[in-house]
Amino acid sequence: MEISYITKGVCSRRIFLEMEGNVVKKVRFEGGCNGNTKGISALAEGMKAEDVVEKLQGIKCGFKNTSCPDQLSQALKEYLSEKGD
């Protein structure tokens, strides 16, 4: 299943996710710091959504209350909630 998540409070504008059940198959950020978002994506791919949320939730970027990793966790939490897990 492919989903799109509009980010809030960060430089990236959107996160595109390809999910297979609860496993993250592919992550692509639109905008943001290219190297960092590619690194986050590579680390998350192949992991269970719940594990990604646990590791990335609450990470802040500078003085912002969120970050691209935190936004990825929010996108996955929304996906899991809508899926019913």
Supply the pLDDT for residue 85. Answer: 57
Supply the pLDDT for residue 83. Answer: 85
Domain extents in the chain: 2-83
CATH of domain 2-83: 3.30.390
DSSP secondary structure letter of residue 23: E
pLDDT digits (tens, 9 = 90+) for 30-81: 999 999 999 999 999 999 999 999 999 999 999 999 999 999 999 999 999 9
Of 43, 38, 47, residue with least CA distance to 19: 47
Supply the pLDDT for residue 84. Answer: 80
